[in-house]
Amino acid sequence: MVEKPDIIGAIFGQTEGLLGSELDLRELQRTGRIGRIEVNIKSSGGKSEGEIIIPSSLDSAETALIAATLETIERVGPCTAEIKLLSVEDTRSEKRKYVVEKAKDILKQLTESGIPDTSEISEEIKEAVRTQEISSYNGLPCGPNMLDSDDIIIVEGRADILNLLKYGIRNTIAIEGTSVPPMIKKLCKEKSVTLFVDGDRGGQLITKEIMQMADVDFIAAAPEGKEVEELTKKETYKSLREKTPAGQFKTGMRRGTVAKPQLEKKTSPGLEKPRMDKPITERPRMEFRKDSGRRPGQGFRTYGRTPSRMPGPPKSKPMLKPDERELFKKTLEELVGTRAACIFDEKCELLGKVPVTELANTLKTMENPYAVVFDGKVDFRLNDVAKFKGVRFLIGMDKDRFPSNIAVLSKRDL
């Protein structure tokens, strides 16, 4: 039987000087090229067996020499001993295998988790900035420019404000619920207000409620089935351009219909045409009455059974009032390049906004139009329709020369 110190002493004592001073185990261990020698031993039946493990940082040739030297040990302490070399292992290759396998796992995790691209990171930064830009007005979330702007947009919730901030619309405030807060009523008295709601049943109900509680100027709605918070930039600006005057919406409510065309989505893309209760189904026709004293070929144009129903033009050309001139001039400037037309009543309130291509047909369906301002040239055909409907002012960018009993004006005349 032997103990661990006996074995270690035999290793150092019996290999000393065998390979010269450069490969002496004591010197190699002192310089760190040979590590700490481990001995695991078991004794039974009067004999001891075990294993010796020696770590080496020498090259392969020197390590093999050291390993072979250990088999020259014949005695351990007072006892005869036999040492056999089992293996010389390169632990670096094992470490390399581990490193390769670990790198595979790391790469797989990176691939599965995904690395965000530049656009996603940029959008996260912008979202954080927009969130910081949201202000508060008496507990209600609003855009940073809401208090400073004369025109504001009322939306349903905070998410709607975030989406509009994304497109540069900063004069917003959210009602955050179905009830109308008192501060919203106050803002409606002080500023020009556009109500921008979702294109669903809930948006229509909120619109009707706010119209009863506050003085809103315009109504805008998202496309049918969409919410304001999910609109694209194009859809957002299109919905706001097609906003309906509050007066027209109230008229539709009294008649039991929705006055804003895009809420019902029954119109074609482009500028909206206002709804009318009684569209004209008959085409203009020439009639000849035997008792009229007219010769054949001298008929008159009518839109009904008798000419007595025709409104007829005013007897003399009207003159623009200063406030009317200013309003129509401003409207005409805003219409430049839009190919659109605005129709006003006697109180100079906007009845509707339609494409110029549909202006003549729209006029035939309207009751008591007072003035028409449009981006186009006034010709004899349009003058004929306007005269029949009793229009007093027909204003375009330019005009043809023809006699007329109504006031036909161009941009230069204003």
Distance CA(42)–CA(414), nearest Å, equals 116
Domain boundaries, the chain: 4-80, 120-264, 314-409
378 pairs with which residues across the strands?
Answer: 399
The fold adopted by the segment(s) 120-264 is Dna Topoisomerase Vi A Subunit; Chain: A, domain 2 (3.40.1360)
More confident residue, 87 or 120: 87
CB contact set of 280 (below 8 Å; sequence gap of 6+): 303, 364, 365
Residue 33 has pLDDT above 60, yes or no: yes
- Token code pair at residue 2: 């032997």
Predicted pLDDT at 319: 85
CB contact set of 139 (below 8 Å; sequence gap of 6+): none
CB distance 38 to 52 below 8 Å = yes
- Residue 94, judged by CB atoms within 10 A of its CB (0-12, 13-18, 19+), counts as exposed
Predicted pLDDT at 316: 61
pLDDT band at 297 (very low <50, low <70, confident <90, very high): very low
List pLDDT tens digits, range 162-202. Answer: 889 888 898 999 988 777 888 888 899 889 999 999 988 88
Lowest mean pLDDT among 13-17, 27-31, 129-133: 129-133
DSSP, res 283: P
CB distance 28 to 36 below 8 Å = no
List pLDDT tens digits, range 88-113. Answer: 888 888 888 899 999 998 988 887 77
More confident residue, 116 or 362: 362
Predicted pLDDT at 99: 93
CB distance 184 to 215 below 8 Å = no
List pLDDT tens digits, range 390-405. Answer: 899 999 999 888 888 8
Residue 370 has pLDDT above 90, yes or no: yes
pLDDT band at 304 (very low <50, low <70, confident <90, very high): very low
Residue 337 has pLDDT above 90, yes or no: no
List pLDDT tens digits, range 52-62. Answer: 999 988 888 88
Predicted pLDDT at 113: 72
pLDDT band at 280 (very low <50, low <70, confident <90, very high): very low
Residue 369 has pLDDT above 80, yes or no: yes
Residue 144 has pLDDT above 60, yes or no: yes
Q: Does domain 314-409 have CATH number 3.40.47.10?
A: no
Count CA atoms closer than 13 A to 219's CA, side-chain side.
30
Residue 268 has pLDDT above 50, yes or no: no
Using alpha carbons, select from 58, 56, 68, 54 the residue that is nearest to residue 7: 54
CB contact set of 83 (below 8 Å; sequence gap of 6+): 52, 70, 71, 73
HEC readout, 216-260: CCEEEECCCCCCHHHCCHHHHHHHHHCCEEHHHHHHHHHCCCCCC
